[in-house]
């Protein structure tokens, strides 16, 4: 990893390779695109500053994910203290909606708003596990490696998180 030597060009290459992933992970965790952008930028700065602590024998993504996750947790605590809970529910990029049919896109965008609001009502661990599995399309094994938990724990947490999300979504549809 050339960044360990302070190579800024290597940092630029790393940013270009992982910027979309970083943004989407942060967006899934904090639910606000401006905050997600700030978090992803800060994550790359932290990678650069702490590159000498990175073990090159280990995969990069789990290490980088922990940086993003820790920044997201800290950001959410600060945000809750400020009681600024603004969410960009119109940002359909969260669910990576791709549709050439405008009517279909509108329905998907509305559903995305419901899902995003419901996700934000979950606690951090539930939101995290659902985001990784359903919106980042990671396998159980990849999530287990990333979060440093067993595959069984991933499956269990996903089961209960999905149940909670389903209950929240059911209440949205019953109200509206």
State which residues form the domain around 57. Answer: 1-85
pTM of this structure:
0.70
Q: How many domains does the chain have?
A: 2
Residue 7 maps to a domain: yes
61-94 residue pLDDT tens: 888 999 999 999 999 888 776 654 444 444 444 4
30-59 residue pLDDT tens: 888 899 999 999 999 999 888 888 888 888
Counting other chains too, the contacts that 19-25 makes at CB distance below 8 Å and 24 or more residues apart are 19/44, 21/61, 21/136, 22/64, 22/68, 24/93, 24/94, 24/96, 24/135, 24/136, 25/65, 25/68, 25/69, 25/131, 25/132, 25/136
Domain end among 85, 110, 145: 85
Domain end among 62, 85, 108: 85
- The CATH number linked to 126 is 1.10.10.10
């Amino acid at each position: 990893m050339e960044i360990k030597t302070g190579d800024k060009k290597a940092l630029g290459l790393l940013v270009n390779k992982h910027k979309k992933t970083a943004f989407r992970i942060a967006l899934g965790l904090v639910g606000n695109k401006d905050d997600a952008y700030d978090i992803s930028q800060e994550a790359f700065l932290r990678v650069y500053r702490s590159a000498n602590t990175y073990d090159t024998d280990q995969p990069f993504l789990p290490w980088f994910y922990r940086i993003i996750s820790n920044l997201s947790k800290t950001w959410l605590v600060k945000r809750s203290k400020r009681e600024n809970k603004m969410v960009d529910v119109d940002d359909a990029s969260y669910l990576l909606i791709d549709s050439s049919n405008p009517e279909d896109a509108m329905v998907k965008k509305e559903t995305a708003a419901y899902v995003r609001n419901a996700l934000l009502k979950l606690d951090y661990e539930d939101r995290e596990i659902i985001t990784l599995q359903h919106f980042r399309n990671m396998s159980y094994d990849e999530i287990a490696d990333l979060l440093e938990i067993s595959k069984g724990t991933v499956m269990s947490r996903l089961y209960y998180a999905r149940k909670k999300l389903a209950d929240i979504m059911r209440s949205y549809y019953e109200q509206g």
